[in-house]
Amino acid sequence: MSRPSNAATAARTPGVPNKKSDLVGARLPKWAPYGAGAGAVVLALGLRSLLDWTGWYTAFFTAAVLFIVILTAWSFSVEGRRRAKDRFATTLICSSFVGAIVPLVLILGYIGIKGVSVFSADFFLKSMNGVTSRQDGGGLYHALVGTLELVLIAAVIALPIGILTAIYLVEYGRGKFAKAVTFFVDVMTGVPSIVAGLFVYTFLLLGFGMRPFGAAGAIALAILMVPVSVRASEEMLKLVPRDLREASYALGVPKWRTIVKVVLPTAMSGLITSSLLAIARVAGETAPLILLVGYTARINFNPFSGDQATLPMMVWDQLGKRSGTTSNDLTEARAWGAALTLVLLVLILNVGARLLARLARPKTH
């Protein structure tokens, strides 16, 4: 076997000179991934100047592919087939992770940088009423009020339905009807939000001849929330061990009391998480709101009458106020500000979900 000398020396057992151990295989040096990476970058840069590529995207992806190829081939020649496969898989998984995280960080970073410049106390406390696209000032108070009200109404409608359906599916559902419910919940998960909007538009606004109002949008959001809530709550309820239900039955406790006093408290932590994630899922929904809620620059506290502003609609409104193709810094800044507020709202919901879930988790100490 021809192996590099440093690996061969390392492979010798200290007490038994010149005898090669069967347990120690040849390994690439620790810096091998970095070396392969540097080599790939240099090669890609060389190719770029050689072939007159413009821009950096092609060079970047060439470097990435070269990195995987170089490291795997090097590993194969030194470490053998199994290790080479391991290197290949590790590299692939790590680059997928980077590929997934980079756009996320870029989006959040960009929104953060663009949005934070417009943040001020006024921005959160004033509406856009009377503020023209060429004027400074104004704020998103009206949109924040609308989004919070709509999401709250949607949650009040959807979460009880979602959680009760999940309880039905986990605790009572048997046979064809339960299978049908599961099937339709799955189908509903994939319903585009504009379809939910259209449904409410047809039955509520056209059917009763009403003008757009906040609660109509909340109903559409609730329709979108129910399947998310059902699926997530169902998983959480399934995590409650059978043992606990049986222990309760064996004490002579009726089934409904077992569900209320044993199953739900045990799953409470997960149910809180699933509910807040369902809320976060619809908080940024826009399409149904265009049809059902409209937009207004004024503050409207009443979700049951008149157009209401929401954060996603404010982003849309402000960006739409650009004059032609020329950008307008004032409206764009406000749009980014509203977008950042929406992201922060979802972030707060997520963090809040985790904190609440931690508080509700069963303790062992």
Residue 262 touches other proteins, criterion: CB under 8 A: yes
Q: Is 244 in the site for other proteins (CB under 8 A)?
A: yes
The owner of tokens 């990476």 is: 37
Q: What are phi and psi of 30, to 5 degrees?
A: -60, -30
Note whether 233 binds other proteins by CB under 8 A. Answer: no
192 near other proteins, rule: CB under 8 A: no
Minimum distance from CB of 358 to other proteins (Å)?
14
Which of residues 5 and 364 has its CB atom nearest to other proteins in the complex? 364
What does the DSSP 8-state code read for residue 233?
H
Dist CA 360 CA 354 (whole Å): 10
- CA–CA dist 56, 208 (Å, integer): 57
30, 81, 176, 363: residue in contact with other proteins (rule CB under 8 A): 363
Alpha carbon distances (Å) from 248 to 174, 234, 275, 364? 21, 20, 26, 20
Question: Could you say whether residue 273 binds other proteins (CB under 8 A)?
Answer: no
Q: How far is the CB of 171 from other proteins (least distance, A)?
A: 11
The reply on whether position 239 binds other proteins by CB under 8 A is no
Q: What is the Cα–Cα distance from 188 to 294, expressed in whole angstroms?
A: 24
Find the shortest distance in angstroms from Cβ 260 to other proteins: 8
H/E element holding 63?
helix 57-79
Residues of this chain, 274-293, that bind other proteins according to CB under 8 A: none
Q: With CB under 8 A as the contact rule, which of the stretches 98-106, 141-149, 259-267, 307-315 interacts with other proteins? A: 259-267
In the bound state with other proteins, the residue whose beta carbon lies nearer, of 177 and 249, is: 249
> What CA–CA distance (Å, rounded) separates 227 from 151?
16
Q: Report the SS3 class of residue 243.
A: helix
- State which residue, 195 or 268, has the beta carbon closest to other proteins: 268
Answer yes or no whether residue 346 interacts with other proteins by CB under 8 A.
no
Q: How many helices (H) and strands (E) does the chain have?
A: 16, 0
Contact footprint for other proteins (CB under 8 A): 174, 241, 243-254, 257-258, 261-262, 265-266, 268, 362-365
